[in-house]
Amino acid sequence: LDLHMKLEERLANFMKKEAALAFSTGFQTNLGIISTLVHRGEAVITDRMVHASIIDACRLSYGTIYKFKHNDMKDLERVLSSIDKKVGKLIVVDGVFSMEGDLANLPEIVKLAKKYEAKVMVDDAHGIGVMGAHGRGTAEHFGVEDEVDLIMGTFSKSFASLGGFVAGEKKVISYIKHFARSLIFSASITPASVATVLATLEIIENEPERRERLWAITKKMKEGFESMGYDTGPTQTPIIPVMIGNDEQAFMLWRLLRENGIFTNPVIYPAVPKGEALIRTSYSATHTDEDLDKVLDCFERCGRQLGII
């Protein structure tokens, strides 16, 4: 529909890329991009902590899969240097890692990509709308938008809708459009979902005070958790993990919090390594100070009750 074309044009302009392409879901977006672009005899290199959709997409491609230690640039260079120079290479990372809220080291990744003649794709599902002065995501945050070849995003986070998209060079987006099976053999996003994204995009572009409020909330909550004795891990974003370690304790804390009206996500293996269970919390600009104080109070009471803090 014309509405879908309008959305793709708006997304391309917003992301400062030549073109954009919308998919039915974020998962299908990653499946389509990677399985289409990586061919037999080529290499796809991923951080070990990337989203499950990237892992599945790599399996669907005919390329050779390489993994490097989480955010370890020396290990990434080790992997890149081991691949024949003539082989096509695509590095794929999350911009914001969804469980622990840390950021990909994009400045170093793009330097290594240039050195070893690789392309870079960033899954910025949790970065777009939040990171960067204009909400364009992790690449904008680091000032490397021109060095990142493809940026993928979802509509189910900051855009409050459903679907996904990829933005990049026009010729690459056109190729994906004509060969991505997860796009061609799936229904398009509903017009209602598209309209929601268009409306939300206006808010992201024109109401920066919402991002400012979100970052103020993030600072308050991170400092609040840490003052109680909780470990919030490596987070640099509004995704704030409360590191527990033991699976049973994580579930016990999650249940107590829920009984007190606090919704969180318990995260255990295989979503995180064994012995690194956590309670995942994330925030919205619409959370009030009263909401936040209640959350901190419940975490303190429940954590002390269980002997976690």
Domain CATH for 143: 3.40.640.10
Same domain, 177 and 80: yes
Q: How many CB atoms lie within 10 A of CB 194?
A: 23
Rounded to two decimals, the pTM is: 0.94
Same domain, 251 and 134: no
Q: Which of 152, 182, 206 is the last residue of a domain?
A: 206
Percent of the chain with pLDDT over 70: 100
Q: Which of 148, 171, 206 is the last residue of a domain?
A: 206
Q: Which of 165, 188, 206 is the last residue of a domain?
A: 206
Position 253 scores a pLDDT of 98
Burial class (CB in 10 A: 0-12, 13-18, 19+), 261: exposed
Joined tokens for residue 191: 């017009």
Position 272 scores a pLDDT of 87
Domain CATH for 269: 3.90.1150.10
Same domain, 176 and 46: yes
Same domain, 84 and 174: yes
Same domain, 146 and 251: no
Same domain, 135 and 253: no
Same domain, 170 and 81: yes
Same domain, 215 and 186: no
The pLDDT profile of the chain, 309 residues, written as one tens digit per residue, is 899 999 999 999 999 999 999 999 999 999 999 999 999 999 999 999 999 999 999 999 999 999 999 999 999 999 999 999 999 999 999 999 999 999 999 999 999 999 999 999 999 999 999 999 999 999 999 999 999 999 999 999 999 999 999 999 999 999 999 999 999 999 999 999 999 999 999 999 999 999 999 999 999 999 999 999 999 999 999 999 999 999 999 999 999 999 999 999 999 998 888 999 999 999 999 999 999 999 999 999 999 999 999
For residue range 36-70, what is the model confidence (pLDDT) as tens digits? 999 999 999 999 999 999 999 999 999 999 999 99
Q: What domain count does the chain have?
A: 2
Same domain, 202 and 222: no
Same domain, 17 and 153: yes
CA distance 163 to 282: 20
The catalytic residue positions are 98, 126, 157
Phi, psi of 158, deg, nearest 5: -65, -25
Same domain, 102 and 251: no
Same domain, 17 and 102: yes
Contacts of residues 105-113 at CB distance under 8 Å and 24 or more positions apart, as own/partner, are 105/71, 105/73, 106/138, 106/139, 106/142, 106/144, 106/148, 107/142, 107/143, 107/144, 108/73, 108/76, 109/73, 109/76, 110/144, 110/147, 110/148, 112/73, 112/76, 112/77, 112/80, 113/89, 113/147
Q: Considering only CA atoms, which of 248, 258, 245 is closest in space to residue 299?
A: 258
* Residue 85 belongs to domain spanning: 2-206
Position 293 scores a pLDDT of 98
